[in-house]
Structure 1
Amino acid sequence: MNSIGSPDSSIPPEVWEEAEMRDALVAREVSAVYRLLRRHGVSQRQIAAMTGQSQSEVSEILKGRQVMAYDVLVRIAGGLGVPRGYMGLAYDDVTAVRVAGSKEVTEPEEEDESMKRRQFLAHAAAVTVGANVLGIAEPGSWVAHAAQTPAPHRIGMTDVRQIEAATKALRALDYRYGGGACRDAVVAQLSWGRQMLGSTASDQVKQKLHIALADLHSLAGWTSHDIGLHDAARTHFGKALELAKEGGNEQLVANVLYRMGRVYIHTKAPDEALKMLQLGQIAAQESGSELAVAVICANQAWAYAMMGHKDMAMQLVGRTRDEWQRAQGKEVEDWVRFFGETDVYGMIGTVHTVLAQGEHPEHTKFAIPALTRCIDLYGEEMTRSKTFGLSLLATNHLLDGDVDHGAKLGRTAIDLASDLKSVRAKDRMEPLQIEAAKRRNSSDARDLAEIIAKFRGPNTLTG
């Protein structure tokens, strides 16, 4: 009989069910997976033979080298016999191709955008006020249809925790490297996880599964938005709303609506954003979470500032501070925990910047200290947010007449943004490009405008 350490043996399925192994697989920590296999007597040579890697590659991974490439992860899973869903991978090569090339990743041009927005708003309103829309056959033409994959017949809380852990790990990649670094993996995880809705499970597991999948759909929507796939974002946010409502989690409903509002803010549709955020406020207040309300108020302030309504924007900034302060020391859920002191400063600085770019240039004196504090608090794990903050701060210094310092900050922002896989990072440079182009009599400003134009690509403003 072959032992696990013999050259022609396979790895017993129960190895993949061990708690420590499942955690490593969910996080895609291949080095940890290989170390655990070594404990089971699997040699480096056997791992190399199974995965098609050289022994030196296996040795480097055992020493901590990360494996990020999707095709390499698929090859490792296939060679070792890991159930692909345990790593958030598409079920097979055919499914992987279908997921990567599915209809949701394109932006159809034949339908009027305003019609899609109205349809989504109607759907969001129905979900928010309690309509049972989960499983509707034809929820609207804003929905695209992704490929489906097989799933276990029966699931337990371990399977739900796997989805939660994968979502957390993928969200960290999004924050640090941009949506383009992880969106395919998010969609692949969904192609596995969505099918668990048809699996047998206890009522408690089912409820937790709805919430976990809602959060994963929300991440899919956010990463889609970050790379400019707004139809796909709308699809995922719509599904996230349904699942969050079915799971009875109003804080998550509010979070999804806030994120959809941000899509409209980014696409310069503040009136549409306010409609989403007003629905989000209903859910946030229903949840009883002051922090969820603070998130909504901050983004409403941004939308009002875009519309030139200074008084409303300032009123909502004040309420943001008040609600955030009241939330301190209270237990909050993951989807609102992100909104800490750094984000409060960032949102305040953003609102004042928008007003300063409009008819209230004096607001630079409020924007600059808030953004400076925000940037000082951001770590490397929040590279994209830090990039946005630097761009806004540079814009304020240009508006304030400090062109040399503004140009220096702008170049730093571009350097950080260049490493991101994010269309949004390019779009958010537009205000800085506009202000730099207005000051072409300064060589620093002129150079900055040209650098941004090159970074953002053809057909962008050059002055």
Structure 2
Amino acid sequence: MTSSTVTSSQPDRPPRPNLAFRRLRGPRSPAEFAALVRRAAREIGERVSCDARYIGRVEAGEIRCPNYAYERVFLHMFPGRTLTDLGFVPRSSVRGRAARTAVAAPRGPAPGEPPGAVGPYDPRDPWQNDPPNHANHANHEESDVLRRAFMTGGGATVAAATLAPLGLAPAAEAAEPLPRRAGIPEAMALEEAVRRIRLLDDRHGADGLYRRAAAPLRAAYALLDAGATRQTTADRLHAGAGELAISVGWLAHDSGRFDDARSHYAEALATARMTGDAGLEAHAFCNTAFLARDAGRPREAVRAAQAAQRAARPLGSARLLSLLALREAGGWAGLADRTGCERALARAQALFERGRADADPEWMSFYGEAELAGLEAQCWSTLGDWRRASRQARRAAQAQDPHFTRNIALYTAELADDLAREGRPDEAAEAGLRVLALLDQVQSSRIQAMLAGTARVLLPHRRASGVAEFLNRHASCKGPRPVRDGEPV
């Protein structure tokens, strides 16, 4: 990793906050509102990777006019209102370089691009969500910027060709040279790559995504080597690269590649330390603690979780501290220290009850009642308290937002295993069958391993109701289908 070279330049005109959009969000947190946007998109057949950061950018005025996919979703959410009513500016006023060149732009590959690379419009282009139904399609404030931002050369891969609209497609080599210095467009593209990877993991799990997600990570660090136009951009690039390293590390972690995950988390931690980014440091230590627990190093899990809490205390997020207390509890459980585990669990619950705050990190959108219960279930399971474990696992599966398909499968697999070990084989088999039904959508070695363990426990109970069916279906299961363009194939 190399720190960015920063040169002075005239500051951009500060954006005007979108107060109308902020009023529409009301008392909901940005993450909660983003979940409503994603749900509304599904209602009309759209697919948008909306999260808390996107909502924040809209409210800050960074996105003066949304692209057409978001426009359709917002107008569906607020019928009878126009984009102007929602606080956006007319689309014609945000036309930049793309608008000036749209008419002349060729429909095939751009000069210097290899055959098959994305052109001015291509359905494989990850940064475009709309059909090519008019000449000024590329006038979106973001589409042209984001499409080009990862077209980095040298040893980097074209991340724009790597990330398909809702999936990770095979990479292609870039012919364009690396930009001399990175700017806001590159930072935006990097942040979008993180969002898309996280959304895909929420839906489908890590297997099949990890190797493809490594290409944008290489491109991210190539951007850092190129330098940045100003210090704020350099900080944003470092934060984005660190978050991407954690996301790729999690994909490695969840697919059983523990050594690779450890390396990616260490890379993110080094980036955080180099730039003094306490939020990134806390996130890297959080995931390191989780990995250490799963890898059978519980004492390291406790130390990493405690280090994460030290980094996170000045950030003002009780929810983050709650999650980190749960990471610590998992380590204590692994050490068979019931007292230490119970204390950490009580601290996690108390912090969680303080509620959400604007200081909550964007990446924590997954952390709610369901995750709290699911992580507590894992602690009780590790301690051998199967009754408490199954009760919390059931609560987690029932409380989970349907968007997080992977987590529903994970909590239900935890429930099946806890019930089997508690001596309730019929209920365990029923839960196991529900997990098997989700494996067409979810790819996770962790979940597969949990089901295999449950099957071993249930073998002596084959005559119990439903157990034989579960065992037979599990034995014949050939594993999850691969994901292509964001959907199982």
TM-score (norm 1): 0.66
**2:179 maps to what in 1?**
152
**1:217 maps to what in 2?**
245
Question: Cα–Cα, structure 1 residues 438 and 164, in superposed 2: closer, same or farther, change >3 Å?
Answer: same
Structure 2: how far apart are the matches of 1:280 and 1:270?
15
| SS at 1:39 equivalent | coil
Is residue 136 of structure 2 the alignment partner of residue 40 of structure 1?
yes
Structure 1: how far apart are the matches of 2:308 and 2:104?
58
Structure 1: how far apart are the matches of 2:345 and 2:420?
24
Match of 1:444 among 466, 479, 486: 466
Q: Give the letter aligned to residue 303 of structure 2.
A: K
Aligned-residue offset at 1:89: 6.7
Identity of aligned residues (%): 20
Structure 1: how far apart are the matches of 2:426 and 2:222?
55
Structure 2: how far apart are the matches of 1:243 and 1:367?
37
Match of 2:209 among 164, 172, 182: 182
Structure 1 residues 352-385: Cα deviation after superposition (integer angstroms, max 9, x where no partner): 2333xx2x44xx1x33443223212323421111
Aligned-residue offset at 1:395: 2.4
| SS at 1:180 equivalent | coil
Aligned-residue offset at 1:172: 0.3
263-272 or 317-326, larger mean C-alpha shift: 263-272
Aligned-residue offset at 1:180: 2.9
Structure 2: how far apart are the matches of 1:375 and 1:157?
40
Aligned-residue offset at 1:238: 1.2
Structure 2: how far apart are the matches of 1:89 and 1:297?
41
**2:148 maps to what in 1?**
86
Structure 2: how far apart are the matches of 1:376 and 1:331?
28
Aligned-residue offset at 1:187: 1.6
Structure 1 residues 120-163: Cα deviation after superposition (integer angstroms, max 9, x where no partner): xxxxxxxxxxxxxxxxxxxxxxxxxxx9x953112222321221
Extract unaligned runs of 5+ from structure 2. Answer: 1-100, 112-118, 139-143, 163-173, 480-489
Q: RMSD in angstroms over aligned alpha carbons?
A: 3.9
Does the CA contact (< 8 Å) of 1:89 and 1:188 recur in 2? no
Structure 1: how far apart are the matches of 2:346 and 2:244?
32
Structure 1 residues 215-260: Cα deviation after superposition (integer angstroms, max 9, x where no partner): 0111111111222222221221111112223333212211111212
| SS at 1:429 equivalent | helix
Q: Give the letter aligned to residue 249 of structure 2.
A: G
Does the CA contact (< 8 Å) of 1:255 and 1:280 recur in 2? yes
Aligned-residue offset at 1:31: 4.8
Does the CA contact (< 8 Å) of 1:244 and 1:253 recur in 2? yes
Structure 1 residues 414-453: Cα deviation after superposition (integer angstroms, max 9, x where no partner): 2213432322221232442343134345363354345445
| SS at 2:353 equivalent | helix
1:294-373 superposed matches below 5 A: 294-355=322-383, 358=384, 360-361=385-386, 364=387, 366-373=388-395
1:62-141 superposed matches below 5 A: 86=148, 88=150, 91=153, 95=157
Q: Give the letter aligned to residue 86 of structure 1.
A: R
Does the CA contact (< 8 Å) of 2:102 and 2:135 recur in 1? no
Is residue 184 of structure 2 the alignment partner of residue 191 of structure 1?
no
Question: Cα–Cα, structure 1 residues 31 and 84, in superposed 2: closer, same or farther, change >3 Å?
Answer: closer
Structure 1 residues 158-217: Cα deviation after superposition (integer angstroms, max 9, x where no partner): 321221122111110011112234334422212222112132321111111111110011
Structure 2: how far apart are the matches of 1:241 and 1:25?
36
Structure 2: how far apart are the matches of 1:270 and 1:418?
33
**2:403 maps to what in 1?**
381
**1:110 maps to what in 2?**
none
Is residue 126 of structure 2 the alignment partner of residue 28 of structure 1?
yes
Does the CA contact (< 8 Å) of 2:258 and 2:295 recur in 1? no
Q: Give the letter aligned to residue 367 of structure 1.
A: A
Structure 2: how far apart are the matches of 1:8 and 1:284?
50
Structure 1 residues 8-51: Cα deviation after superposition (integer angstroms, max 9, x where no partner): 776889xxxxxxx999999815552x427x32399xxxxxxxxx
Question: Cα–Cα, structure 1 residues 8 and 343, in superposed 2: closer, same or farther, change >3 Å?
Answer: closer
Question: Cα–Cα, structure 1 residues 436 and 385, in superposed 2: closer, same or farther, change >3 Å?
Answer: same
Match of 1:245 among 245, 260, 273: 273
